[in-house]
Amino acid sequence: EVQLVESGGGLIRPGGSLGLSCAASGFSVSSNFMTWVRQSPGKGLEWVSSIYSAGRAFYADSVKGRFTLSRDNSKNTVYLQMNSLRVEDTAVYYCARGFYDSSGNPFFKYWGQGTLVTVSS
């Protein structure tokens, strides 16, 4: 059974740093593309970052240079290191496993339950 469990959320002051983890089970993070999507309170979904099987990571412009996505294959876990946090980074952060269907088109097949990050003074 595929499971994604996020952790590491909490309250942090503006300018601070926080690291999120997404522990995966039932599949290997190294052979799939993994993604973080966030949702600010009462707002829609916003893509944050994705890391692909070859190891290349992509970032939304809003977090580029501040967030770093990485993975530890031995722990089957992906990490989102968030630095220079801003009030507008406040959101529930979801980890999602990407999947390619039979046509080779990607989509987000599995989602974790999310972890709340609150940036406030």
Partner 1 sequence: QSVLIQTPSESGTPGQTVNISCSGSTSNIGSNAVSWYQQLPGTAPKVLMQSNNQRPSGVPDRFSGSQSGTSASLAIGGLQSEDEAVYYCATWDDSLNGWVFGGGTKLTVL
Please give the residue ranges that form the binding site for partner 1 (CB under 8 A): 35, 37, 44-47, 50, 58-61, 94, 101, 103, 105-109, 111-114
Query: Smallest gap, in angstroms, from Cβ of residue 31 to partner 1?
Result: 19
C-beta of 9 vs 114, nearer to partner 1: 114
C-beta of 85 vs 95, nearer to partner 1: 95
C-beta of 8 vs 114, nearer to partner 1: 114
Query: Smallest gap, in angstroms, from Cβ of residue 13 to partner 1?
Result: 27
CA distance 79 to 69: 6
Query: Smallest gap, in angstroms, from Cβ of residue 74 to partner 1?
Result: 26
CA distance 73 to 40: 29
Q: How many CB atoms lie within 10 A of CB 102?
A: 5
Reading phi first (left if > 0) and then psi (alpha if -120 to 50, else beta), residue 77 is in: beta
Residue 81 contacts residue 17 (beta carbons within 8 Å): yes
C-beta of 37 vs 91, nearer to partner 1: 37
Query: Smallest gap, in angstroms, from Cβ of residue 15 to partner 1?
Result: 25
Residue 99 contacts residue 91 (beta carbons within 8 Å): no
